[in-house]
Amino acid sequence: MAIQFLLSDGLPRRFAARSDIKVYFQDLVPERYLEEMPYDKITQVRRQTTQVKISDNLYIGSEHPIVVQSMTNTATDNIDASVAQVKALYLAGSAAVRLTVKDEAGAKAIPQIDQALKSEGFNIPLVGDFHYNGHLLLDKFPACAQALAKYRINPGNVGYGEKHDYNFDTIVKIAKANDKPIRIGVNWGSLDQDLLTEFMDLNSKGKLSRKFKELTTNSFVFEEINQELNYKEVMYLCMIESALRSAELAMQAGLSEDRIIVSTKMSELQDLINVYRLIARACKFPLHLGLTEAGTPIKGMIASSAALGILLQEGIGDTIRMSLTPGVGDPLNPLNDRTLEVRACQELLQALELVYYKPSVTSCPGCGRTSSTYFQLLAQEINEYILLSMNDWKLKYPGVEKLKIAVMGCIVNGPGESKHADIGISLPGDNEEPVAPVYINGELTQTLRGENISKEFKNILSEFIENKFSRYVRH
């Protein structure tokens, strides 16, 4: 399994012209995946989609920033609890918040929740999550239908047999009457069983392989390929068919193309990547990304970041959610906080340099060279200082969210990382001179000493931000 580097300029490997490197992985991946990949093509061009208006201030689609969404876990008819959690998720950065609408009590509560939020100055787009009986609830409670900004429909449980299309059509026509967009949310755990049976039958006759090859190669295939796909490949095609067939039904019912978002969620990382790569080629609808039932906080954040990070890097995805299972117990434990899923999405998007939310702080993990915890405490203080200051900074200093700060713990990487940041400080490690050089725009500007390094550095940081961004102040 050799990796061969072919250099077009003939120079030794280490001196090759950076964008002329062609990498071929021999015997490592199937031949169809071999391609030239310039080193500096870091982020793929965003997949082009229709643009869907959710509210006056929120659009989802390729011409707009990727949107973070979340969902409450309160009983929807507990209005006080639901209002409190919607506000918390929104303030954490969720642009829209989804609530379960499972029964009449929940449907009655939606307009009350919406009104309570607006009375406090929060005009937050609320998304209704419907399963089984959405057609009944939306028809019976028009105030709920109007208060919601978007409806999420699961085509796998909207009805069965002849009732499926009628129930789905009912919801779509209510959405059209109220000028609301919908998300067609296909989930592998509740996939339309009639459709899956149909596809299994087609597969047994070798009727799906040509379509699968067309999607995987992104090209037309004219010859018949009479061979069976494996179960997962059939599942991928079935999920895509469920989403796109539902979208077609919605448009036949009068909903325009720019009122439809789709998702095809799975719980296994590789499956999610595969199915979204395929559906991204099959339509122009905006895609909602998410690993369904991602799991408990640490596992869920890692798995979601791995899957979503790959897709986002390839330009796939217009809105995201991490479906984390929060812990229970101590409410002060951040792993028990429902807003963790919002912050995790923001950190992912900022790490990929797709959306910026706040200045980023680079800090080292510590090692045997730094028995002191001072640099850890300073990094923590700087992060807390940023969080406390961001609301004010956003108003005064547009662009501050792209600022890069370094707080390093010793001489090994400290000066280098500090020079690469917009502003950085390198604290002394064990047996090093007790000084802390400060770098601004790559240049050493001053050296701090004594017991007030933290306070002095925060003052320097504030002054730097004011000087750097004050010319952008809105008047």
Same domain, 370 and 252: no
Asked if the structure places residue 426 within a domain, the reply is yes
Residues 336 and 374 in one domain: no
The C-alpha angle 412, 414, 418, rounded to 5 degrees, equals: 150
One-letter amino acid for residue 315 of the chain: G
What b/e readout covers 39-70, taking b as 16+ CB neighbours within 10 angstroms?
Answer: eeeeeeebbebbebbbeeebbbbbebebbbbb
**436 in helix, strand or coil?**
strand
274 and 375 belong to one structural domain: no
Whether residue 309 lies inside any domain: the answer is: yes
Q: Residue 370 domain-assigned?
A: yes
Length of the chain: 475
Residue 383's Cβ-count burial label (10 Å; 0-12, 13-18, 19+) is middle
Residue at which a domain ends, from 297, 326, 351:
351
State the CATH number of the domain containing residue 434.
Answer: 3.30.413.10
Identify which of 131, 138, 73 has the alpha carbon closest to the alpha carbon of residue 110. Answer: 138
Which of these, 345, 258, 311, 373, lies nearest to 70 by C-alpha position?
A: 345
Residues 6+ apart with CB under 8 A from 49: 61, 62, 284, 285, 286, 287, 318
Q: What CATH number has the domain bearing residue 99?
A: 3.20.20.20
Q: Are residues 396 and 313 in the same domain?
A: no
- For 431-453, the pLDDT digits (tens) are 778 889 999 999 999 999 988 88
Distance CA 365, CA 376 (A): 8
Going by C-alpha positions, the residue among 324, 187, 156 that lies closest to residue 263 is 187
Q: Is 44 within the bounds of a domain?
A: no
Rounded CA-CA distance 390/401 in Å is 8
Beta bridge partners of 423: 405, 440
- Of the three residues 351, 383, 409, the one that is the final residue of a domain is 351
Q: Which of 328, 351, 374 is the last residue of a domain?
A: 351
Residue 339 three-state SS: coil
Supply the pTM of this predicted model.
Answer: 0.87
- Looking at the domain assignment, is residue 185 inside a domain? yes
CA distance 405 to 382: 9
How many folded domains does the chain comprise?
A: 3
Rounded Cα distance between 464 and 458, Å, is: 10
Query: Is residue 90 domain-shared with residue 121, that is, in the same domain?
Result: yes
Structure tokens at 471: 């010319």
Instruction: Give the three-class secondary structure for 397.
Output: coil
Angle between helices 340-351 and 297-313 (to 10 degrees): 30
Query: What is the C-alpha to C-alpha distance for residues 241 and 256, in angstroms, rounded to an integer?
Result: 19
Question: Same domain for 321 and 400?
Answer: no
- Distance (Å, rounded) from C-alpha 158 to C-alpha 169? 10
Contacts 24+ apart (CB under 8 A), 211-218: 211/237, 212/236, 212/237, 215/240, 215/278, 215/281, 215/282, 216/32, 216/278, 217/32, 218/281
Residues 404 and 359 sit within 8 Å (Cβ to Cβ):
yes
Structure tokens, 283: 């339509």
Dihedral over Cα of 275, 277, 278, 282: its sign = positive
Q: What is the pLDDT of residue 92?
A: 95
Shared domain for 364 and 347, answered yes or no, is: no
Task: Provide the 8-state DSSP code for 126.
Answer: E
Q: Say what the pLDDT of residue 27 is.
A: 35
Statement: residue 28 has pLDDT above 50: no
> By residue range, what is the domain housing residue 74?
52-351
- Confirm whether 45 is domain-assigned: no
| Across 342-361, average pLDDT | 95
7 pLDDT above the threshold of 80: no
Residues 246 and 388 in one domain: no
Lowest mean pLDDT among 112-121, 143-152, 209-218, 255-264: 209-218
Residues 176 and 204 in one domain: yes
Residue 22 lies in a domain: yes
In one-letter notation, the amino acid at residue 19 is: S
Same domain for 292 and 413, yes or no, is no
Is residue 388 a part of any domain in this protein?
yes
Give the C-alpha separation, 14 to 444, whole Å: 31
pLDDT in tens, 176-206: 999 999 999 999 999 998 999 999 999 999 8
The residues that bridge with 3 in the sheet, in sequence order, are: 25
The reply to whether 340 and 398 lie within a common domain is: no
Mean of the pLDDT values across residues 35-61?
A: 79
Residues 223 and 370 in one domain: no
Burial of 395 (0-12, 13-18, 19+ CB in 10 A): exposed
pLDDT at 406 over 60: yes
Question: In the prediction, which pLDDT does 450 show?
Answer: 86
Q: Are strands 360-363 and 423-426 parallel, antiparallel or unpaired?
A: unpaired
> For 205-234, how does the pLDDT look when each residue is reduced to its tens digit (9 = 90+)?
988 998 888 888 877 777 777 789 999 999
Residue 109 phi, psi dihedral angles, 5° rounding: -75, -30
Distance CA 123, CA 391 (A): 18
pLDDT, mean over the chain? 88
- Residue 319, helix vs strand vs coil: strand
